Amino acid sequence: MRPVSMAELAERIRNARKAAGISQDVAAQETGLPQPSISAIESGKRSVDSLELARFAELYNKPLHYFLDSSFSDDTKSFGPLLESQHVLDSDRAVLDDFRVFCQDYAELEQLVLGKVNVVQIFEDVPPADTPTNAVAQATHYSSALRNMFGLGIEPLYDVRLFLDSIGIKAIKRKCNTPALTGIYVYSPEYGHCVLVNRSGNRQLDRFSLAHTLCHALLDWHVMKKEENFVLCKNWVGDSLIEYRANVFALNFLMPQDTVEKVWIRIRTKEKPGIFDTIAIARYFGVNYESTLERFVLLGMLTEKEKGSLWNELSDSAGHIDDLMGYAASEVRFSGEELYPDRYIKLCFEALSLGKTTAGRVAKYLGKSIYETNQLLQQMKAEPRRPAAGD
């Protein structure tokens, strides 16, 4: 094993601190080292002794060999640009590191069970949108093409998370505090397409956010630069064409035009959609009210001014109408608490049954104690296969 150089060690200490969401000032307080010493260590200008390194390892929740073993993958590099972004609150750094660890573990499980990491590339060489009209045309075309490719037809797709799961996109939902942030997309050559959706407490909004980030994974991965390999998604906030295209893609993917028009013909009682129509169609497709109004505008059913008026009505009355129509306690309205995708959990137990991992490692993958994991394995009667001689 080749020891890491002083420069490599400095970089790993710096990356570990940033991944943990800890400032140099806090690190100084917790380790008892002066802040200038922390800065000097991280810039490679000062050596670090074994006791200091042990303090860093404990504080940053890293094993010692992460810092000392040259063969240990510095898995912060793919997520380095995101972890260092100034557009994310420091209180979300731990969530982002949890996201990174999830993607690393997911890729590791794919390698153990499938022999390769799934880096799906459905659409290649999609040109960037240069006008809003072009963004709408691309979003409409590719969302329809995706539905046709996977035989989804034109009916509502209620479990977008499961769809992402089925095509190998690594997606989780976690609560973030950064204002207006609805999701994050990261493209990593090592891990593949990685999606984090900010758990909003509203499954309808989360469903739209998943479809929005799906667009980035399908259409934008090939233009990602190593130093800027992520997108911070804010849905309808901002005016960048890349975000606008993702919004329109999500609308088309979740609410195909033919189906919207079919439902509208069935329920319409006047020329323009009203508050009850909006709620009914939002419920039919399982999307949030804002997205439904944006879809009406895109299809020419409402003007921007009419959308604004209807949004004000919804803001004042939608909750009461939800209660009246029996939606208040609806499973669809509120997000579930699933921590990991189905495919990820399935790979955990397949790796165990194939003798490719241990119960302790499965506990780490699932964020459980070894006791909880052993109890679960006993209930499932799942035991690791003993490797045969020569395996």
Furthest C-alpha separation in the chain: 76
User: Do 136 and 220 have their domain in common?
Assistant: yes
Check which CATH number belongs to the domain holding 195 and give it: 1.10.10.2910
Mean local confidence (pLDDT), 314-336: 59
Which residues neighbour 200 within 8 Å (Cβ) at sequence distance 6 or greater?
182, 206, 209, 335
Which of 343, 391, 384, 381 minimizes the C-alpha distance to 360?
Answer: 384
137 to 37, 214, 245, 252, 254: CA distances (angstroms): 55, 17, 9, 11, 16
What region, left, alpha or beta, does residue 133 occupy, with left being phi > 0 and alpha being psi -120 to 50 degrees? Answer: alpha
User: Do 269 and 158 have their domain in common?
Assistant: no
Give CA–CA dist 391/386, Å, rounded.
Answer: 10
Residue 8 lies in a domain: yes
Residue 271 sits in which domain range? 257-324
pTM over 0.85: no
User: Do 39 and 54 have their domain in common?
Assistant: yes
Residue 356 lies in a domain: yes
- Report residue 334's pLDDT band, with 50, 70 and 90 as the boundaries: very low
Structural domain ending residue among the three candidates 56, 74, 92: 74
pLDDT tens-digit map of 87-137? 999 889 889 988 988 998 898 899 889 888 888 788 877 888 899 999 999
User: Do 117 and 187 have their domain in common?
Assistant: yes
Give CA–CA dist 284/286, Å, rounded.
Answer: 6
Residue 387 has pLDDT above 50, yes or no: no
Residue 261 has pLDDT above 90, yes or no: yes
Residue 329 has pLDDT above 70, yes or no: no
pLDDT tens-digit map of 31-46? 999 999 999 999 999 9
Domain count, the chain: 4
Give CA–CA dist 231/182, Å, rounded.
Answer: 11
Structural domain ending residue among the three candidates 226, 254, 282: 254
User: Do 240 and 264 have their domain in common?
Assistant: no
Structural domain ending residue among the three candidates 74, 103, 127: 74
User: Do 23 and 158 have their domain in common?
Assistant: no
Residue 274 lies in a domain: yes
What is the CA 325 to chain-centroid distance, rounded?
Answer: 32
SS3 of 24-71 = HHHHHHHHCCCHHHHHHHHCCCCCCCHHHHHHHHHHHCCCHHHHHECC
User: Do 246 and 173 have their domain in common?
Assistant: yes
Residue 47 lies in a domain: yes
Residue 198 pairs in a beta bridge with 174
